[in-house]
């Protein structure tokens, strides 16, 4: 089964017009890793010394890209926002 990664724009929340297809992957884990890479790149580019996790996360949910995988296998789950929240805490600390 092929898994496609699509990317929405948080700045245009719930607007499918700016959506694009990143690519097609042979496995769910590989597709999720592609999503994580997009988020990690945005957070690394946006982070500034002294920034709190809440501030970085707010910038992500306002301006970052929101990747997702289709189809989602039964029992699997990936949330770009949940992943970004975890990464913001790791990058900035829990403050």
| pLDDT, tens digit (0-9, with 9 covering 90-100), for 3-55 | 999 999 877 666 667 788 999 999 999 999 999 999 999 999 999 999 999 99
Q: What is the pLDDT of residue 94?
A: 60
3-9 β-sheet, strand order: 20-25, 3-9, 65-70
What are the boundaries of each domain within the chain? 3-92
How far is it, in rounded angstroms, from Cα 58 to Cα 64?
Answer: 9
| pLDDT, tens digit (0-9, with 9 covering 90-100), for 59-89 | 999 999 999 999 999 999 999 999 999 999 9
Q: What is the pLDDT of residue 12?
A: 62
Q: What is the pLDDT of residue 17?
A: 73
How far is it, in rounded angstroms, from Cα 10 to Cα 80?
Answer: 11
Q: What is the pLDDT of residue 16?
A: 65
Ranges of beta strands (E only) in 1-95 are: 3-9, 20-25, 65-70
């Amino acid at each position: 089964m092929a898994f496609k990664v699509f990317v929405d724009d948080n700045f245009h929340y719930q607007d499918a017009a700016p959506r694009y297809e990143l690519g097609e992957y042979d496995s769910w884990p590989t597709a999720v890793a592609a999503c994580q890479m997009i988020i990690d790149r945005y957070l690394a580019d946006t982070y500034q010394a002294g920034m709190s996790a809440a501030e970085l996360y707010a910038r992500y949910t306002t301006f970052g890209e929101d990747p997702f995988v289709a189809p989602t296998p039964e029992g699997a789950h990936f949330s770009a926002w949940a992943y970004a929240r975890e990464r913001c805490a790791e990058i900035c600390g829990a403050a």
